[in-house]
Amino acid sequence: MAATVSADRILRELADLWVAAGQEQAEGGLGVLRACAMTLIVLAEETEDMEALGETIAALMPEYPARTILVRLGGTGAPALAERVYSQCWMPFGQRRQICCERIEITASEASLADLPSILPPLAAPDLPVLLWWRSARLLGTPGYRKLAAMADKAIVDSSGLEDEEAALPMLVEMAQGEPERAGRARPLLGDLSWTLLTRWREMLSGVFESRECQARLPDISNVVVAFAGFRPPVFAWYMGAWVANALSDAGAHAYLTWQPRPDLAGRALHVELTGGDFRVSLERHDDRLSIEAGGLSHCTNLPQPTDYLLMREELGIVRRDPLFERTLATAARLAAASIT
Amino acid sequence: MHLENPFQDPLRFERRMPECAIVIFGASGDLTKRKLIPALYRLAYDRRLAAGFAVIGVSRTPLGDDGFREKMREAVRDFSEDTKFDEDVWNAFARGLFYVAGDAGDPALFVRLAQKLAEIERERQTGGNVLFYLSLQPSQYAAAALGLGGAGLGKGNGWRRLVVEKPFGRDLASARELSEQIHQVFDESAVYRIDHYLGKETVQNILAMRFGNGIFEPLWNRRYVNHVQITAAESIGVEGRGAYYQEAGALADMIQNHLLQVMATIAMEPTASFRAASVRDERSKLLRSIRPMAPDEIRVNSVPGQYGPARVGGEDLPGFHEEPGVDAQSRTDTYAAATFFVENWRWAGVPFYMRTGKRLPKRVTEIAIQFNPAPLTLFHGGAEGAPNLLILRIQPEEGISLKFLSKRPGAGVELRPVSMDFNYGSSFGERSPSAYETLLLDAIVGDATLYTRQDMVEASWAVVEPIHNAWRETAFDFPNYAAGTWGPAASDQMLARRGHAWRTP
């Protein structure tokens, strides 16, 4: 592996890709259409399933065409860097011209992490947002993370990969609210896939309270139970409880909130129940469906199992502040801290 | 009491339907099974329906709730093109489907409907909100609206709205009369006249492109725009709808509603806000600014057509007269082209050419805005005469292209036209909602932006009616274009008189 990579060389190789595509057009082909709406930097550990990650990135491209810079982080030896450049193309159904996105792959040893903040900025597509998908939980919150996040408009992390999930919440608060790495530049927005995971659940629960009858029962709710798999509440269970608590508090309800381990649940499944008097709302997943019971009416809807693709698809669409997430994160961190003490 | 839903998250949640019942008149018809129920099922599949939701189908066919559910199940299986059929989602959805049999002209039907609605409101917690959808023969619209009023269904515990399918009237007088009858029961603000073209993503995107960007609007006027061409071509014939079509014709079926609405979207002034009233006010103002044609103008600025038989791609295609259900002497226009002028400061003198027809070479709907040439010709030879064009494609490949000239690489200065393309499907690969999903959701949340208002309908008829009348009084030599061609020669001449030519899309 070479010790250096050159941004100029990478950009020249990218330009050559499009010249080759243009020649195909000149020779009578339909050529290709270059699509780019953002720069997506993906930082992944070399030990990850790169084929699966590649498929996830490829699946995201039709909706969020991007110049993708995949950084494969591996090896603890001497500083080492290598790169390759290629394009990802697809033929939209019913059309005759391919759409192509640029992909740059950089392999870096851990000792080269410090070099990345100088290599990546010139590779970003000009005038378009830069999003950082930080898949390596191990290095979350480190100076390396902060330096790379500083060049991004938004950093997307997945707190469910952290070993000590309760310690994760204060760290996430610090990442969301801490001082920006560079003076005069806005702090990057923060997204956590553990929060994204809950969107469809929250949407269904919210849908229940679109009904005036159910809305009128809000102040009666006195108990909220968030049941989860395992022994300790995962971050997304803290988020769910905190979000419900905030909403009920806004509605003037004072509910008792509990997190309960439930042996019959597995993985990232949840069961959420709100009760008060004879009023009960419950949400539970069965395979690809979510069942909702509210005030005597039952309802069932499609809820695909969350995949990296589905979660990222949502996060890439939000490149602005998410005040509700920020508030929930702060509440979740407070509730988690209180439960420890 | 707390009035807002404290669980809302507008940044991440999809727009959802509030609790309500939808009453579909004409529930045995094609539109219900092909479009409406599949669109509602899709909304259920996508978690957009509230638990307190119900559909009541109404039509003359004797059926019970279960029979209706069974028919709709088949419809969803057959016509939900890009939605998986999920048994559990369907079962939950089907529990909210009901049926009432009867004739829209029979007052007893509305009494039974009122009873059913009261039961459903109690059991399904629909909050008393009801959307009535008229998917009937146009001649029954007034009877249905008045029947609802007679049974006291025009008002209730929640909101009441009425969706009316096209065509809204046969001419200006009948459109006005129908509005007056409907207004006996529903206020204009509760009347939603559907124009599914306005529900198409790309038509909505015209507004986003014009008013969300700063670079287009300065050029969007008579100083820079040479002319505008609006084309809505269909490659198919009347496809079994011959009996209906020969009563309507291309001018009334397409130009009076869809294409004039598209033109209004292209040419209207910027709105003060994106609220329904503001957008509709501007569309209406534009429609009222289109100059109605005087009789002598109609001869030179409009062209009717009717297709004759032809052999296309190895297939013998019938002429309009040979189509099933069509009168062999029919003088119906299967093609219509017209040149309109807008009488305001922005567009004075700029021709808006419009054409639509059946059995044209391909299915395409697009708007081409041709800009004036550069004021001085610096480059000679090659393609310097090629105009700058901004093309807004509505179907089949939604997108926007800008055509301009560029120097060809190499020695010398030779220009060649190049195209800068934005493809809606490639930049936003997600599935676009169908026009009916968008429009149903809009009507239920009370957003009338994409629906036409009485004054807009009347303004469109005021433009089209003189042409319609003149065509009816003229014996044209039909058929005047062969199936599979771009229409009558007179249509080309209409543009040639001003030094223009139709684009070949």
User: pLDDT digits over A93-113, tens only?
Assistant: 556 667 778 889 988 887 777
Radius of gyration of chain A (CA): 23
Is B256 or A287 the better-scoring residue by pLDDT?
B256
Provide the shortest C-alpha distance from residue B394 to chain A (in Å).
Answer: 15
Q: Verify whether the Cβ–Cβ distance A216 to B14 is below 8 Å.
A: no
Phi, psi (rounded to 5 degrees) for A126: -60, 150
Q: Specify the 3-state DSSP secondary structure of A232.
A: coil
Out of B6, B84, B429, whose CB is closest to A251?
B6
Q: Verify whether the Cβ–Cβ distance A207 to B421 is below 8 Å.
A: no
CA distances from B460 to A64, B63, B249, B264, B356 (A): 40, 39, 16, 10, 16
Task: Determine contact: B430 vs chain A, CB below 8 A.
Answer: yes
Q: Verify whether the Cβ–Cβ distance A297 to B124 is below 8 Å.
A: yes
Out of A65, A205, A215, whose CB is closest to B427?
A65
Using an 8 Å Cβ cutoff, are A329 and A235 in contact?
no
Residues in chain B predicted with pLDDT less than 50, given as ranges, are 1-2
Residue B1 pLDDT: 41
User: In 3D, which of A102, A130, A106 has the Cα closest to residue A16?
Assistant: A102
With CA atoms as reference, the chain B residue closest to A211 would be B19
B498's CB contacts (< 8 A; 6+ apart) are: B227, B339, B351
Please measure the distance between the N-terminal and C-terminal CA atoms of chain A and give it in whole angstroms: 49
Residue A78 pLDDT: 65
Residue A182 pLDDT: 59
Task: Determine contact: B419 vs chain A, CB below 8 A.
Answer: no
Residue B504 pLDDT: 85
With CA atoms as reference, the chain B residue closest to A61 would be B429
Provide the shortest C-alpha distance from residue B121 to chain A (in Å).
Answer: 12
Is B183 or A18 the better-scoring residue by pLDDT?
B183
User: Considering only A77-86, A236-245, B54-63, B460-469, which range has the smallest mean pLDDT?
Assistant: A77-86
Q: How far apart are CA B45 and CA B39, in angstroms?
A: 10
* A75 HSE (CA, 13 A, CB side): 14
Q: Does position A291 have pLDDT exceeding 80, yes or no?
A: yes
Using an 8 Å Cβ cutoff, are B287 and B322 in contact?
no
Q: How far apart are CA B471 and CA B466, in angstroms?
A: 9
User: In 3D, which of A47, A46, A22 has the Cα closest to residue A34?
Assistant: A22
Q: How far apart are CA B399 and CA A99, in angstroms?
A: 14
Domain ranges in chain A?
A: 7-152, 196-302
Task: Determine contact: B418 vs chain A, CB below 8 A.
Answer: no
CA distances from A170 to A141, A159, A332, B353 (A): 11, 11, 9, 63
Q: How many CB atoms lie within 10 A of CB A260?
A: 13
Residue B2 pLDDT: 42
Task: Determine contact: B157 vs chain A, CB below 8 A.
Answer: no
Chain B CB contacts of A204 below 8 Å: 47
Domain A196-302 has CATH 3.40.50: no
Percent of chain A at pLDDT > 90 equals 32
Residue A307 pLDDT: 92
User: Considering only A171-185, A252-266, A286-300, which range has the smallest mean pLDDT?
Assistant: A171-185
- Tokens 């896939």 found at: A193
Using an 8 Å Cβ cutoff, are A35 and A147 in contact?
no
Chain A CB contacts of B420 below 8 Å: none
Q: Verify whether the Cβ–Cβ distance B9 to A324 is below 8 Å.
A: yes
Residue A94 pLDDT: 56
User: pLDDT digits over A24-44, tens only?
Assistant: 665 666 667 777 888 999 999
Residue B432 pLDDT: 62
Chain B CB contacts of A302 below 8 Å: 45-47, 84, 86, 89
Q: Verify whether the Cβ–Cβ distance B429 to A92 is below 8 Å.
A: yes
- Given CA atoms B34, B37, B40, B44 in this order, what sign does their dihedral have? negative
Six-digit token pair at B289? 């600014």
Out of A63, A200, A211, whose CB is closest to B47?
A200
| Confidence at A185, pLDDT banded by 50, 70, 90 | low
Q: Does position A84 have pLDDT exceeding 50, yes or no?
A: yes
Q: Verify whether the Cβ–Cβ distance A247 to B50 is below 8 Å.
A: no
What is the pLDDT averaged over residues A247-264?
91
Q: Does position A129 have pLDDT exceeding 80, yes or no?
A: yes
Chain B CB contacts of A219 below 8 Å: 2
Any idea what the Cα angle at residue A60 is, between residues A58 and A61, rounded to 5°? 70
Using an 8 Å Cβ cutoff, are B369 and B228 in contact?
yes
Using an 8 Å Cβ cutoff, are A149 and A37 in contact?
no
Residue B477 pLDDT: 92
Tell me the whole-structure pTM to 2 decimals: 0.77
Just list the catalytic residues of B: 258
Please measure the distance between the N-terminal and C-terminal CA atoms of chain B and give it in whole angstroms: 58
Q: Cis peptide before B309, with omega less than 30 degrees from 0?
A: no
ipTM value, please give it.
Answer: 0.86
Chain A CB contacts of B18 below 8 Å: 210-211
Three-state SS annotation for B184-206: CCCCHHHEEECCHHHHCHHHHHH
- Tokens 């001419």 found at: B171
Chain A CB contacts of B47 below 8 Å: 200, 203-204, 207, 290, 301-303
